[in-house]
A = this chain, B = another copy of it.
Amino acid sequence: MRENFSRKREAILRVVESTKCHPSAEWVYERIRKEHPDVSLATVYRNLKRFCEKGCVRSIGVVNGQERFDADTSPHSHFICRSCGAVLDIPETPFTPEALGEIGARHGLRVERSDVRFAGLCGKCAAKVQNKS
């Protein structure tokens, strides 16, 4: 049985789950308003935070001043284009849970997770830069 889920909460989760663009709160808000014009931005923020706490959504950190979210909580990394801000999934994940344990032991820490962010230019932006010669 699913948890307590109000209509709007469910709609917000569906929006996050239905995209691979790693949306910001604002993006989710714009999108949700097409179906539910009476949802407030505060509700989007509240629920995104709640989903992260419950573990069904993951924050992938702040990109250009906005926090970005991902409903795919399986292990994977991200690439961020420094030109257009796009966030793409990258399957490579260098550290196994055991490796995290070893690193933690070596430094006297309890390492729970690792996040890898690649940065550079996505295909489109790399092409644009080329053409400016």
Interface residues of A (CB under 8 A from B): 61-62, 79, 81-82, 88, 90, 92, 94-95, 100, 103-104, 107-123, 126
Q: Are B114 and A114 in contact (CB under 8 A)?
A: no
CB distance from A122 to the nearest CB of B (A): 6
**Quick one: which of B88, B107, B117 contacts A117, CB cutoff 8 A?**
B117
**Quick one: which of B62, B81, B100, B126 contacts A62, CB cutoff 8 A?**
B62
Known contacts: A62-B61, A116-B115. The answer to whether A109 contacts B92 by CB under 8 A is: no
| Complex Cα–Cα for A79 and B105 (A) | 13
Known contacts: A61-B62, A94-B94, A94-B95. The answer to whether A118 contacts B110 by CB under 8 A is: no
